Amino acid sequence: MTDKKISFIGLGRMGANMARHLKDSGYTIASVYDVSKELTSSIAEELSATAASTTAEAIEAADIVFTVVTDDAAMRSIFTCKGLGNAAGRLFINCATLSPHAHTSAANAAATAGAETLEAAMASSIPQARSGSLYLMIGGKEAVFETYKPLLQDLSSDLEYIGPVGSAAKVKALVNMVMNINTAALAEGLGLGDALGLDLEKLTKVFSKTGANSRVLETDAEDMLIRDHDCFFSAAHAAKDSGIANALAAENDVSVPLSQATEAQYQKLIASGKGELDKSAVAELTFKGRNES
- State yes or no: is 170 an active-site residue: no
How far is Cα 199 from Cα 197, in angstroms, rounded to an integer? 7
Phi, psi of 69 (to 5 degrees): -110, 175
- pLDDT for 45 equals 98
**CA 98, 99, 103 angle in degrees (round to 5)?**
80
DSSP string, the chain: -TTSEEEEE--SHHHHHHHHHHHHTT-EEEEEE-S-HHHHHHHHHHHT-EE-SSHHHHHHT-SEEEE--SSHHHHHHHSSHHHH-S-TT-EEEE-S---HHHHHHHHHHHHHTT-EEEEEEE-S-HHHHHHT-EEEEEEE-HHHHHHHHHHHHHHEEEEEEEESTTHHHHHHHHHHHHHHHHHHHHHHHHHHHHHTT--HHHHHHHHHTSTT--HHHHHHHHHHHHT----SSBHHHHHHHHHHHHHHHHHTT---HHHHHHHHHHHHHHHTT-TTSBGGGGGGGTSTTSS--
Please give the C-alpha separations between residue 115 and each of 75, 85, 144, 280, in angstroms, as whole numbers. 16, 11, 11, 39
- Per-residue pLDDT, averaged over 19-47, amounts to 98
- Per-residue pLDDT, averaged over 67-86, amounts to 92
Quick check: 227 pLDDT over 80?
yes
pLDDT tens per residue across span 205-226: 999 999 999 999 999 999 999 9
Quick check: 65 pLDDT over 60?
yes
Q: What is the pTM of this model?
A: 0.93
Q: Write the Ramachandran bin of 289: left for phi over 0, alpha for psi from -120 to 50, otherwise beta.
A: left
- pLDDT for 102 equals 97
1 confidence band (pLDDT: 50, 70, 90): confident
Domain boundary assignment for the chain:
5-165, 170-285
Task: Count CB-CB contacts under 10 A for residue 143.
Answer: 9
* Percent of the chain residues past pLDDT 90, beyond the cut: 96
Quick check: 293 pLDDT over 60?
no
Burial class from Cβ neighbours inside 10 Å (0-12, 13-18, 19+) for residue 135 reads middle
Class of domain 170-285: mainly alpha
- pLDDT for 180 equals 98
What superfamily would CATH give domain 5-165? NAD(P)-binding Rossmann-like Domain (3.40.50.720)
- Per-residue pLDDT, averaged over 53-61, amounts to 96
How far is Cα 150 from Cα 145, in angstroms, rounded to an integer? 9
- Per-residue pLDDT, averaged over 270-281, amounts to 97
- Per-residue pLDDT, averaged over 230-253, amounts to 97
Quick check: 154 pLDDT over 60?
yes
How far is Cα 46 from Cα 58, in angstroms, rounded to an integer? 16
| Average per-residue pLDDT for the chain | 96
- Per-residue pLDDT, averaged over 156-175, amounts to 97
Specify whether the CB–CB gap between 100 and 248 falls below 8 A: yes
- pLDDT for 291 equals 81
- Per-residue pLDDT, averaged over 115-137, amounts to 96
DSSP lists the bridge partners of residue 51 as 32
199 confidence band (pLDDT: 50, 70, 90): very high
- Per-residue pLDDT, averaged over 59-84, amounts to 94
Specify whether the CB–CB gap between 121 and 95 falls below 8 A: yes
How far is Cα 163 from Cα 223, in angstroms, rounded to an integer? 36
Please identify which of the residues 23, 82, 141, 172 carries the catalytic annotation: 172
- pLDDT for 292 equals 66
Phi, psi of 47 (to 5 degrees): -100, 5
Quick check: 44 pLDDT over 80?
yes
